[in-house]
Amino acid sequence: MRDKENKKSLFAELLEQEDKRKETLKDGETVEGTVIRVDGNRVAVDIGAKSEGFIDISEFVDIDGEPNVKVGDRVEVYIEHIDRDGSIRISKERADKLKVWDELSRIHENGEIVEGKILQPVKGGYTVMIKGNVKAFLPGSQVDVKPVKDEKVVGQKYRFKIIKFHKKRNNIVLSRRAIIEEELERKRAEVLANLQEGAVVNGVVKNVTEYGAFIDLGGVDGLLHVSDISWGRLSDPRTKLKSGQEVKVVVLKFDPEGHKVSLGMKQLSPNPWETAEERYAPGTVVRGRVISTAPYGAFVELEEGIEGLIHVSEISWTKRIKDPSDVLKVGAIVEAVVLDIDVENTKISLSMKQLEPNPYELLPQKYPIGSVVKGRVRNVAEFGLFVEIEEGIDGLVHVSDISWIQKVRHPSELYKPGDEVEAVVLNIDFEHDRPKISLGIKQLTPDPWESIPQKYPIGSVVEGKILKVLDFGAFVELEEGIEGLVRVSETSDERVEDPRDVLEAGQTVKVKVIGIDPSDRRISLSIRGAQHDETVQGAVGGSNPTLGDIFKEALGSKLPEDE
């Protein structure tokens, strides 16, 4: 009996306490309750009031926006209002906000980190959902240390710092950049502490320019100069490196005070010139890629860091090459023979033509002196004709070897490029790099001057045409190409001051041969001598006067009239 009374008393006491608690619940308080039922979109919560309170299920979503509630969960709620009939309006969201805002205030004051998810872009930045489903603002300048695109960050979770906090205005401003900068500074300090010359480190290409690349070593940038990227020639680093590329480099120089770091890539491998003399001895046949051309030759890459020069004179034995790029294109693979190597000055001389027999060595057998050759006039110069007797091999016909008798002022008077000609090989001169072949056209026929003394003996009288008259005499053509000179003293027995007074060009005259010099190709003529011969022949009445008749006529012509 007493036990029943005790139980009654205990139950009554609990009811009394519960009634007192219900009486103490007030608007604006935050209390703990229990989820007793989930009805569709409503969650029923018992907080010990006269009636249960209902909260929309949307207030129970997690950071990913999914509902997260079940019967029996203990939750804190905010009492918005208690009616006189005992019904209540409660809110988990407001309770969470009060609690979260207190927590966020503490995080802000202590400089701690808060996690959040970037929801969407807004004017000037982004909306971020952080702890307790509180929305905060992330300025665009605070997303990263470098510009980023919306699609790369929206929907992503990050760690942030609270840089501005105003509870009454519900205003929270975040920064992800501050965390990144702190991390970079930490890494930078670590890198600087461990950085030393000769160390091999990993980095990421940050930027590439025409003079080199900047490498991020982890908060510290180093310069990789173009000359230290490769042992070979590198005109543009952008052909070797790309932004974002991971590379391994060696520290060449380090200035701890100015934080300046010089880096190298080629130093990670041996200098190929250290052993080049063994691999590229003179006479070695090599293959390589043409990497550039110049007016004086072509540069060929034999391996990375090793180049050789094929001088324009070593490309072909016979082809006339004005520009090496006409026959050697950049990128072409060529074979050549090593002529010389200079390791100290990193130079290798190459030759393509030395891989073939020297065609000039066969010239004496192929074109012996005195042989007749055919060719095409390739060029006409003032001093002669260049005749191509085979591809790349020319002979020169000097202007003096064009004709025995014609006076050639310029070879273009008789020949033009493209004309086919025959000539005689006069000489082959090997004293020069390219042998010189002397040719002659006039040598195809006998020298007419060899027969002039027999054809025009001294004392003979012939007819000729005056070609031109000068103050010292007149030139008379005896036949095509054969001329003689009548000096002023030989024009007449009478005194002649100027031959032009008695002679004119085009006039046909009889002349007497009074002198011949075949070596100088000169014939001396006399008009008055021919006239005397005619006078003598007329006086003696015959065509064959005796020596006495001639003397008699000569003496008689000089006697005074009275004698």
Looking up residue 453, the CATH number of its domain turns out to be 2.40.50.140
- How many percent of the chain have pLDDT more than 70? 90
Domain boundary among 212, 237, 268: 268
Alpha-carbon distance of 381 to 379, in angstroms, equals 7
247 and 332 housed in the same domain:
no
Element (H, E) at 185: helix 177-194
pLDDT interval class at 559 (50, 70, 90): very low
Claim to verify: residue 225 and residue 144 sit in the same structural domain: no
Tokens of 351: 């030759």
Looking at residue 563, its pLDDT comes to 35
Q: What is the pLDDT of residue 534?
A: 75
Mean pLDDT in residue range 184-190: 81
pLDDT over 80 (residue 161): yes
- pLDDT at residue 540 in the model: 54
**562 pLDDT more than 60:** no
Pair (147, 174) in one structural domain: yes
Same domain, 438 and 453: no
Q: For residues 431 and 37, which has the higher predicted lDDT (pLDDT)?
A: 37
Q: Is the pLDDT of residue 124 over 60?
A: yes
pLDDT at position 28: 76
Is position 185 within any domain? no
pLDDT in tens, 345-389: 999 999 998 898 887 777 888 888 888 999 999 999 999 999 988
Band of residue 100 on the pLDDT scale cut at 50, 70, 90:
confident
Query: Are residues 242 and 305 both part of a single domain?
Result: no
Quick one: pLDDT at residue 539? Answer: 59
- The predicted-structure confidence for 310-340, as pLDDT tens digits, reads as follows 999 899 887 878 899 989 999 999 999 999 9
- pLDDT class for 560, splitting at 50, 70, 90? very low
Return the beta strands (E) in 131-284 as ranges: 134-139, 157-166, 171-175, 200-209, 212-216, 221-225, 246-255, 260-264
- Check whether residue 455 and residue 529 sit in a common domain: yes
Q: Is the pLDDT of residue 243 over 50?
A: yes
User: pLDDT category, 14, cuts 50, 70, 90?
Assistant: very low
What pLDDT shows up at residue 64?
72
Residue 102 within a domain: no
pLDDT of residue 445: 86
Same domain, 130 and 160: yes
- Mean pLDDT is lowest, of 65-69, 340-344, 417-421, for 65-69
Has residue 191 got a pLDDT over 90?
no
133 Rama sector, left if φ>0, alpha if ψ -120 to 50, beta otherwise: left
Q: Is residue 68 part of a domain?
A: no
**Domain identity same for 438 and 454:** no
User: Which of 103-117, 129-143, 183-197, 470-484 has the weakest average pLDDT?
Assistant: 183-197
Residue 528 lies in a domain: yes
Does residue 323 share a domain with residue 252?
no
Q: Which of 268, 290, 307 is the last residue of a domain?
A: 268
Name 384's Cβ contacts closer than 8 Å, sequence gap at least 6: 396, 397, 398, 399, 401, 402, 411
What pLDDT shows up at residue 530? 87
Residue at 72 is within a domain: no
pLDDT of residue 308: 93
Identify the residue with better confidence: 196 or 563.
196
Give the helix, strand, coil percentages of the chain, each rounded to 5: 25, 40, 35
Among 1, 9, 77, residue whose Cα is nearest residue 46 = 77
Is residue 479 scored above 70 in pLDDT?
A: yes
Mean pLDDT of 90-115: 85
Q: pLDDT value at position 2?
A: 56
> Is the same domain home to 264 and 292?
no
Residue 558: pLDDT band (50, 70, 90) is: very low
Domain match, 293 and 334 both: yes
Structural domain harbouring 536: 449-556
0.75 exceeded by pTM: no
Angle subtended at Cα 220 by Cα 215 and Cα 222, rounded to the nearest 5 degrees? 40
The total number of structural domains in the chain stands at: 5
- Flag whether 440 is in a domain: yes
Residue 234, in any domain of the structure: yes
Tell me which DSSP letter residue 371 carries.
Answer: -
Instruction: Show which of 355, 373, 388 is a domain's final residue.
Output: 355
Higher-confidence position of 115 and 194:
115
Parallel, antiparallel or unpaired: strands 482-487 and 522-526:
parallel
Residue 520: is its pLDDT beyond 90?
Answer: no
290 and 263 share one domain: no
Q: Does residue 313 form part of some domain?
A: yes
Task: Give CA separation, 357 vs 267, 327, 385, in Å.
Answer: 42, 20, 28
- Give me the half-sphere count of Cα atoms (radius 13 Å) on the Cβ side of residue 48: 21
Query: Of 289-293, 354-358, 465-469, which gets the smallest average pLDDT?
Result: 354-358
Confidence tier at 5 by pLDDT (50, 70, 90): low
Segment among 89-98, 122-131, 501-510 with least mean pLDDT: 89-98
Average pLDDT, rounded, for the chain:
84
